[in-house]
A and B are shown apart, each in its own frame.
Chain A
Amino acid sequence: MSAATLGFRHRFNYLLAPKVVFGIAVIALLIAAAIFAPWIAPHDPARQDLMRAMTAPQWGGPHLLGTDHVGRDLLSRIIYGSRISLAIGVAVVLVSGAVGIFLGVISGYFGGRTDSLIQKMLEVFWAFPPLLLAIAIVAFLGQGLGIIIIALASQRWIPYCRLARAEAMALRDREFVVAARSLGASPARILTRHILPNIVPSMVVVGTFAMATAIISEASLSFLGLGVPPTIPTWGSMLADSRAYISTSWWMALFPGLAIFITVLAINLVGDALRSHFDPKLKNI
Chain B
Amino acid sequence: MASYLVRRLIGVIPVLFMVSLMVFALTQLAPGDPVSMLVSDEASPEDRQKIVEAWGLDRPAPVQYLSFLKNAVLGDFGSSFRYREPVMDLVLARLPASIELAVYATLLAVIIGIPLGVLSAARPNSLLDNAGSLVGFFGVSMPNFWFGILLILVFAGVFNVLPSGGREPWGMDLPSITGFLTIDALIQGRFDVLWTALRHLALPAIVLGTSMTGIIMQLTRATVAEALREDYVMTARAKGLSERLVLWRHAFRNALVAVVTIIGLEFGALISGAIIVETVFSWPGIGMLLIQSITFRDYPLIVGLVLIYTTLFVLVNVAIDILYTIIDPRIRMK
Contacts of B141 in A (CB 8 A): 212, 261, 264-265, 268
A141 adjacent to B26 (CB under 8 Å):
yes
Q: Is B235 in contact with chain A by the CB < 8 A criterion?
A: no
Is the CB of A205 closer than 8 A to any CB of chain B? no
From 209 to 246 in chain A, residues with beta carbon under 8 angstroms from any chain B beta carbon are 212, 216, 219-220, 223-226, 236, 239, 242-243, 246
Give which listed residue, B22, B30, B143, contacts A220 with CB less than 8 A.
Answer: B143
Q: How many whole Å from A23's CB to the nearest CB in chain B?
A: 11
Does A197 have its Cβ within 8 Å of any Cβ on chain B?
A: no
Contact residues of A: prevailing secondary structure: helix
CB of B43 closer than 8 Å to a CB of A: no
The 8 closest A-B pairs by CB, nearest first: A257-B146, A131-B272, A265-B141, A264-B141, A129-B271, A124-B18, A140-B26, A140-B30
Interface presence of B313 (CB below 8 A): yes
Which of B56-64, B66-74, B290-298 sits within the interface? B290-298
B173: shortest Cβ distance to chain A, in Å? 28
**CB pair A129 B143 closer than 8 Å:** no
Interface size, B (range)? 35 or more
B149 within 8 A of A: yes
Give complex CA distance A18, B187 in Å.
56
Interface residues of chain A, those whose CB is within 8 Å of chain B, are: 120, 123-124, 127-132, 135-142, 212, 216, 219-220, 223-226, 236, 239, 242-243, 246-247, 250, 253-254, 257, 260-261, 264-265, 268
Asked if residues B157 and A247 are in contact (CB atoms below 8 Å), the reply is yes
User: Which of A124, A131, A136, A247 has the most chain B CB atoms closer than 10 A to its own CB?
Assistant: A136
Do B19 and A127 touch across chains, with their CB atoms under 8 A apart? yes
B residues contacting A by CB (< 8 A) are 14-16, 18-19, 22-23, 26-27, 29-31, 137-138, 140-143, 145-146, 149-150, 152-153, 156-157, 164, 267-269, 271-272, 275-276, 279-280, 290-291, 294-295, 299, 302, 306, 309-310, 313-314
Q: B18 contacts A220, CB within 8 Å?
A: no
Nearest-Cβ distance from residue A117 to partner chain B, whole angstroms = 12
Instruction: Report if A224-B153 is in contact (Cβ < 8 Å); known contacts: A132-B306, A135-B290.
Output: no
Complex alpha-carbon distance, A247 and B294, angstroms: 28
Does A135 contact B294, Cβ atoms closer than 8 Å?
yes
Are A141 and B143 within 8 A (Cβ)?
no
Query: Which B-chain residue is minimally distant from A154 (CB atoms)?
Result: B22
- Since A223-B279, A246-B153 are in contact, a sample of 20 more A-B pairs with Cβ atoms closer than 8 Å, ordered by chain A residue number, is A123-B15, A124-B22, A127-B19, A128-B19, A128-B309, A129-B310, A130-B271, A135-B290, A136-B306, A140-B29, A142-B31, A223-B276, A225-B295, A226-B294, A242-B149, A246-B164, A253-B149, A260-B143, A261-B141, A268-B140
